[in-house]
Amino acid sequence: MYFLLILSLKSILSSVIGSSFYNWFQGTTGGIWFQKQVDRFMAHFADKYDLELAKKDAKFRKQYPLAAERLDQLEINSHPCKELHEFDVYPELMDRIESIEEDLNVVWEVNGRQIAKHLAKKPVNK
């Protein structure tokens, strides 16, 4: 009975001391470097074995719930539910696209053979 009590107290104290040490250590230069190395290793490990690691997003949301809520609202508001023709600059954008297409057609008519020869020489990257 005393063995289990001592074991559990040892576990709790080790956890508290370790957590306190890491909270201090993560702000130091060595701690920042060490965390970058651990993150790099874990990313390599995840790529090598096709593992999906727990995202840092969950930790961020736990530590900063108000900031996470604000970011969610910004994401919702940054993608309005509008069709392309409902934007104010749509006519100007379409005019510019049509102008570029006309310029490309002129360039193709004038230099079509040279462009075709040049395109035939280039290897296609896949």
Tens of pLDDT along the chain (126 residues)? 788 889 898 999 899 898 888 889 888 999 899 989 988 988 888 777 766 555 567 778 888 899 989 988 888 877 667 776 677 788 888 899 999 999 988 888 888 888 888 778 766 565
Nearest Cα neighbor of 42 from 27, 61, 56 is 56
**DSSP string spanning the chain?**
-HHHHHHHHHHHHHHHHHHHHHHHHTTSHHHHHHHHHHHHHHHHHHHHHT--PPPHHHHHHHH-HHHHHHHHHHHHHHS----GGGSTTHHHHHHHHHHHHHHHHHHHHHHHHHHHHHHHHSPPP-
Q: What does the pLDDT read at residue 66?
A: 93
Q: What does the pLDDT read at residue 125?
A: 61
| pTM of the entire predicted model | 0.35
Q: What does the pLDDT read at residue 70?
A: 92
Give the tens place of pLDDT for each residue, 66-97: 998 998 888 887 766 777 667 778 888 889 99
> Residues 98, 104, 106, 109: is their CA dihedral positive or negative?
negative
Q: Compute the radius of gyration of the chain from its Cα atoms.
A: 29
Contact predicate 68/61, CB 8 Å: yes
Contact predicate 72/60, CB 8 Å: no
Specify the residue for token string 């993560």: 26
Question: Any residues with CB less than 8 A from the CB of 52 and at least 6 apart, and which?
Answer: 46
